[in-house]
Amino acid sequence: MAARKKPVKKSSAKSATPAKRFNLKGTLIKLFLIGSLVVAGLVTIWAYVLNERVVDRFSGTLWKLPATVYAAPQEIYVGQHLSPSELVSELTNLHYRDRNDLTETGTFDRVGNEIRIHRRAFDFPDGQEPDKQIRVRFVNEDVVGVTDASGADIGITRLEPMMIGQLYPDVNEDRILLSAVQVQKDAPLLIKTLITTEDRDFYHHHGVVPSAVLRAFLVNLTSGHTVQGGSTITQQLAKNLFLTPKRTIERKVAEMIMALEMEWHYSKDKILEGYLNEVYLGQDGSQAIHGFGLAARYYFGRPVDELRPEEIALLVGMVKGASYYNPRRNPERAKNRRDTVIDLMANNGLISETEAGVLKQRPLGVLKEKGTTSPHPAFLNLVQRQLAEQYNPEDLKTKGLRIFTTMQPRVQAALEKSVDALDPIEKAHKYAPDTLQTAGIITSIGTGEVQALIGGRDPTFEGYNRALDAQRQIGSLIKPAIYLTALSDPAKFSLITLLDDSPVTIDQKGSEPWTPKNYGGQFLGPTPLYTDLAESRNVPSIKLGMDVGLDNVADTLHKLGGPQIKPFFPAMLLGSMTMTPFTVAQIYQTLSSDGFYSPLRAIRSVVDSQGKPLSRYPLTVTKVADPNALYLLQYAMQGVVSDGTARRLNKTIPPSVGVAGKTGTTNDSRDAWFAGFTGNRVGVIWVGRDDDKPTSLTGSSGALPVWAAAFKPLYNKPRDMTPPKGVSFQRVDVALQARVPAQCPGILMPFISGYEPQAVQDCQGNAPDGTPGAPGDSNPLSPILNFFR
């Protein structure tokens, strides 16, 4: 390269030496020769330095590789409730093909009650699942057999997990990496158009086209300032990768040198690939949009191979100036530029003239909102936060991490679809469309894995994540904490303890006395504790809370996974404190898990690109409540659904599931909540308005329908209602506060053993002779219950 400069210097030396004296002439020639050598040497060193930079950058990975995020894999096991069509849709989502012949991996075949799968191999963090033929036998919607090709039972297996996104755990930079070979195959028009528009000789030059440089030089000279680049794709890439955008002669020369060096070292494909991924195509807030992969998603919400010709033309046209031709801000300019590119395409035979005419008629077709969102941005958002909290930042810089999450695609899909339940609610209440907002979380019983999460009504919108960030009053969702505190003192409280539902005024230090009211305004006198919870009676709940002590309620709430609230004011017994839906889910997770607290997790494990686990965020459990008291509470919460404020749920979810839950409604119906659990999942739904204006909704009319819509398509395992060893069921007469024989009217209630009602009455309310309060054997269930002890 230095050699090329020499003639230039020489010629200038010649023209600058009109020598008169022989000696002088000789000296000058010598001087110029030496000078030229020095310049050549310096240029060589410069070129060498630049070369180092080029090689250094290209030898490693050109860009930070994003971490790949996976959903939880589909497990397939004997005894699982899974319909053949669910499995087929799962396979289809993983791009398995329906083939009779299963010789290739990634194929399946449905034969009667059996689905045969040739599963792809996958390296899970806990071991490899080899490529393997699997047979899954169904009876109705249950898996009854999982065998290998030889018919040997394997009990359980799993498919490879679905990829749900890519993210950069440590930087605010996004890029969807394309491979040149892949793009050549899937979207050849993109490459052809790009080359036609930007660098027609790309496959023939050596990085720099001298004639083009010369032409640009002349144009710039005559116009007095730099207008034309005359840059090849290689030069543009050199500039983008290594140089600042400032235009000086020095930069230009460096750019050319580096372009030549890149061409010397690397293939056209490699350079093109670099270009496809590096070219600047817009700005999304603080994030630069680099590369066609990301741009295709940002502007059209689609992968590159699904772009239509006019969309390709737009993106390629934008290379010239991504902000000047920004189709969202400057649509007319962008359209003109696009049409220019379409003409170029036609002139060069990439498309026909008539086609060009049709394409130019089409609108830009750019998405109104950016389409870079992952399909499940709210969930990924949680993943990103938990990564930052739980993993070493240094580890997260590792290239190509694989992140295994807890998301269950089917559950996530059901939750995302459930927001449709808000449309009829808005219609019925004559609200403008999209008045209501929502957030929801579904977790797994027992382990606290977050299976699904939505941060708003548009689940694809990547923005305000209400599930994690909306601080809303929780209303009556607080009540289980009050009742659990009470039931943990069995000497004083049982489910049939009569609470006084009558007017009360509470004196508060430093503020007006408070006279709380019931929803509906009536007072019912003495009512049993379980009814007060089922019907969410305010006044008896407040009295109960005052009775057990505000600090104790605060303590229970905190232990269950809620925030530590101090001081705890009486009004907080009606849930005047704010929490995020995520925190509420944490509390109800503990309630559903029999009093064992497990932090909600979105990540199972993270491994590096070699498959080495970074660390695991393991399952932990902490016993935070008396399981017996909690059983009683769950029983009462089941009453919320069977007989109480959430009874409309029975229309959607069969009562046999035994859903336990709680509705919540705050002042002026600003917030509607439902939190409830089945035998396999916990769900929390919040509905309200972003501007915190009142609605006329209750937990039951606003949030419960969304919850029901989310759970309806899922398999809901009936809750296991086996009483723990410290609980016994008794037939009781609530009004008499006494046990009654089996033939008497009465209800069956669980009690903490040793604290059953002592009194025994006959059907008329008289104490029967000879049975003075011996506990136990009047219970018709005893023989059965003894099985469980």
Size of the site for another protein (CB under 8 A): 81
Between 513 and 745, CB nearer to another protein: 745
Give catalytic status of residue 394 as yes or no. Answer: no
**Pick from 661, 681, 682: nearest CA to 673:** 661
Rounded to a whole number of angstroms, the CA Rg of the chain reads 36
Binding mask 301-340 for another protein (x = CB under 8 A): ----------------------------------------
Give catalytic status of residue 75 as yes or no. Answer: no
Q: What does the H/E/C string look like for 405-434?
A: ECCCHHHHHHHHHHHHHHHHHHHHCCCCCC
Between 301 and 724, CB nearer to another protein: 724
Identified binder of another protein from the candidate list 36, 51, 74, 157, rule CB under 8 A: 157
Q: Does residue number 562 form part of the binding site for another protein (CB under 8 A)?
A: no
Q: Of the ranges 262-270, 461-469, 477-485, 621-629, which one interacts with another protein (CB under 8 A)?
A: 621-629
Residue 350 CA to residue 356 CA, distance in Å, equals 10
Residues 493-552 that bind another protein (CB under 8 A): 530, 534
**Pick from 675, 677, 751, 685: nearest CA to 718:** 677
Q: Does residue number 390 form part of the binding site for another protein (CB under 8 A)?
A: yes
Q: Does residue number 643 form part of the binding site for another protein (CB under 8 A)?
A: yes
Q: Of the ranges 63-71, 155-163, 197-205, 219-227, which one interacts with another protein (CB under 8 A)?
A: 155-163
Identified binder of another protein from the candidate list 505, 693, 725, 765, rule CB under 8 A: 725
Identified binder of another protein from the candidate list 142, 198, 489, 500, rule CB under 8 A: 142
CA atoms 563, 568, 569, 571: torsion sign: positive
| Least distance to another protein, CB of residue 130, Å | 5
Q: Write down the catalytic residue from 173, 198, 355, 426.
A: 198
- For residue 177, give every residue at least 6 positions away whose Cβ sits within 8 Å of its Cβ, in sequence order, or none: 63, 65, 66, 277, 291, 293
Residue 673 CA to residue 473 CA, distance in Å, equals 10
**Pick from 379, 375, 346: nearest CA to 360:** 346
Between 575 and 750, CB nearer to another protein: 750
Binding mask 19-38 for another protein (x = CB under 8 A): --------------------
CB 706 within 8 A of CB 470: no
Residues 391-450 that bind another protein (CB under 8 A): 391, 444-447, 449
Identified binder of another protein from the candidate list 627, 741, 768, 775, rule CB under 8 A: 627
Residue 235 CA to residue 243 CA, distance in Å, equals 11
Q: Write down the catalytic residue from 476, 494, 592, 701.
A: 476
Between 202 and 596, CB nearer to another protein: 596
Q: Does residue number 731 form part of the binding site for another protein (CB under 8 A)?
A: yes
Identified binder of another protein from the candidate list 402, 604, 662, 739, rule CB under 8 A: 604
| Least distance to another protein, CB of residue 580, Å | 14
CB 712 within 8 A of CB 652: yes
| Least distance to another protein, CB of residue 778, Å | 12
Q: Does residue number 729 form part of the binding site for another protein (CB under 8 A)?
A: yes
Total length of the chain = 789
Residues 73-92 that bind another protein (CB under 8 A): 75, 77-80
Residues 106-125 that bind another protein (CB under 8 A): 124-125
Q: Does residue number 635 form part of the binding site for another protein (CB under 8 A)?
A: yes
Between 339 and 449, CB nearer to another protein: 449
**Pick from 388, 386, 381: nearest CA to 461:** 381
**Pick from 550, 563, 482: nearest CA to 514:** 550
Q: Does residue number 724 form part of the binding site for another protein (CB under 8 A)?
A: yes
Q: Of the ranges 191-199, 536-544, 698-706, 716-724, which one interacts with another protein (CB under 8 A)?
A: 716-724
Between 154 and 367, CB nearer to another protein: 154
CB 530 within 8 A of CB 641: no
**Pick from 444, 451, 450, 452: nearest CA to 419:** 452
For residue 240, give both structure tokens: 């983008």
- For residue 631, give every residue at least 6 positions away whose Cβ sits within 8 Å of its Cβ, in sequence order, or none: 594, 723, 724, 727, 750
For residue 103, give both structure tokens: 């010789």
Q: Of the ranges 71-79, 369-377, 483-491, 571-579, which one interacts with another protein (CB under 8 A)?
A: 71-79
Q: Does residue number 677 form part of the binding site for another protein (CB under 8 A)?
A: no
Identified binder of another protein from the candidate list 463, 713, 718, 768, rule CB under 8 A: 718
| Least distance to another protein, CB of residue 746, Å | 6
Residue 594 CA to residue 601 CA, distance in Å, equals 18
Identified binder of another protein from the candidate list 248, 336, 622, 667, rule CB under 8 A: 622
Q: Of the ranges 56-64, 342-350, 517-525, 618-626, which one interacts with another protein (CB under 8 A)?
A: 618-626
Between 45 and 748, CB nearer to another protein: 748
**Pick from 262, 266, 248, 253: nearest CA to 4:** 253
DSSP letter, residue 497: -
| Least distance to another protein, CB of residue 324, Å | 48
Q: Does residue number 756 form part of the binding site for another protein (CB under 8 A)?
A: no
DSSP string for 128-194: EEPSEEEEEEEETTEEEEEEETT--B--EEEPPPPEEEEE-SS-S-B-----HHHHHHH-HHHHHHH
| Least distance to another protein, CB of residue 765, Å | 15
Q: Does residue number 388 form part of the binding site for another protein (CB under 8 A)?
A: no
- For residue 522, give every residue at least 6 positions away whose Cβ sits within 8 Å of its Cβ, in sequence order, or none: none
- For residue 188, give every residue at least 6 positions away whose Cβ sits within 8 Å of its Cβ, in sequence order, or none: none
CB 685 within 8 A of CB 700: no
Q: Does residue number 639 form part of the binding site for another protein (CB under 8 A)?
A: yes
Residue 742 CA to residue 664 CA, distance in Å, equals 36
Residues 768-787 that bind another protein (CB under 8 A): 780-781, 784-785, 787
Between 639 and 688, CB nearer to another protein: 639
Q: Does residue number 615 form part of the binding site for another protein (CB under 8 A)?
A: yes
Residue 442 CA to residue 189 CA, distance in Å, equals 43
Identified binder of another protein from the candidate list 3, 16, 152, 249, rule CB under 8 A: 152
- For residue 409, give every residue at least 6 positions away whose Cβ sits within 8 Å of its Cβ, in sequence order, or none: 71, 90, 93, 162, 164
Q: Does residue number 719 form part of the binding site for another protein (CB under 8 A)?
A: yes
Annotated active-site positions, please?
Answer: 198, 476
